[in-house]
Amino acid sequence: RSTIVGIGEALRRALLPCGRANETAATAAGGLGAVFVNAAKDFPELSPRVLSRDPWIVAFQEFASDAEMDGILAAARAQTRGDFVQSLMDDEDGDVVRSSQHIWCDTPTCMQDADVVRLMSRLSTVTRTPAANAEVLQLLRYDEGQRYDVHNDYTGGGHDGASGGRLFSFVLFLSSPEEGGELHFADVNLTIRAERGAAVLWPSLSAQDFDLPELLSHHASVPVRRGQKLAAVTWLHLYDWRTLQLDRGCAESLGAIIPPFALLPRSHTQTEDADEDADRSEDYSDDGRVSD
Ligand X SMILES: O=C(O)CCC(=O)C(=O)O
Residues that bind Fe ion (CB under 5 A): 153
How many positions of this chain bind ligand X (CB under 6 A)?
Answer: 9
**Residue least distant from ligand X (Cβ):** 221
Contact status: 140 vs ligand X (CB under 6 A): yes
Judged by beta carbon, residue 219 or residue 280, the one nearer ligand X is 219
The residue within the footprint of ligand X, chosen from 219, 237, 242, 280 (CB under 6 A), is 219
Judged by beta carbon, residue 36 or residue 148, the one nearer ligand X is 148
Q: What are phi and psi of 140, to 5 degrees?
A: -120, 145
Contact at 8 Å (CB) between 159 and 245? Answer: no
Contact status: 58 vs ligand X (CB under 6 A): no
Contact status: 245 vs ligand X (CB under 6 A): no
Nearest alpha carbon to residue 173 among 41, 264, 69: 69
Q: What are phi and psi of 235, to 5 degrees?
A: -135, 140
* SS (HEC) of 109-125: HHHCCHHHHHHHHHHHH
Q: Minimum distance from CB of 240 to Fe ion (Å)? A: 22
Judged by beta carbon, residue 20 or residue 182, the one nearer ligand X is 182
Judged by beta carbon, residue 20 or residue 219, the one nearer ligand X is 219
Q: Minimum distance from CB of 233 to ligand X (Å)? A: 4
Q: What are phi and psi of 262, to 5 degrees?
A: -60, 135
Beta strands in the chain (DSSP E): 48-53, 56-60, 85-86, 89-90, 96-98, 101-105, 137-142, 148-151, 166-173, 179-180, 183-185, 190-192, 199-203, 219-221, 224-226, 229-237
Residue type, 22: N
Q: Minimum distance from CB of 215 to Fe ion (Å)? A: 14
Q: What are phi and psi of 278, to 5 degrees?
A: -60, -45
Judged by beta carbon, residue 75 or residue 137, the one nearer ligand X is 137
Contact status: 214 vs ligand X (CB under 6 A): no
Give residues with Cβ within 8 angstroms of 3, minimum separation 6. none
Judged by beta carbon, residue 20 or residue 98, the one nearer Fe ion is 98
Contact at 8 Å (CB) between 148 and 100? Answer: yes
The residue within the footprint of ligand X, chosen from 162, 230, 233, 238 (CB under 6 A), is 233
Contact status: 153 vs ligand X (CB under 6 A): yes
Q: Minimum distance from CB of 220 to Fe ion (Å)? A: 8
Q: Minimum distance from CB of 265 to ligand X (Å)? A: 19
Using CA atoms, how far apart are residues 220 and 137, in angstroms rounded to an integer?
Answer: 18
Binding site for ligand X (CB under 6 A): 140, 148, 153, 171, 183, 219, 221, 231, 233
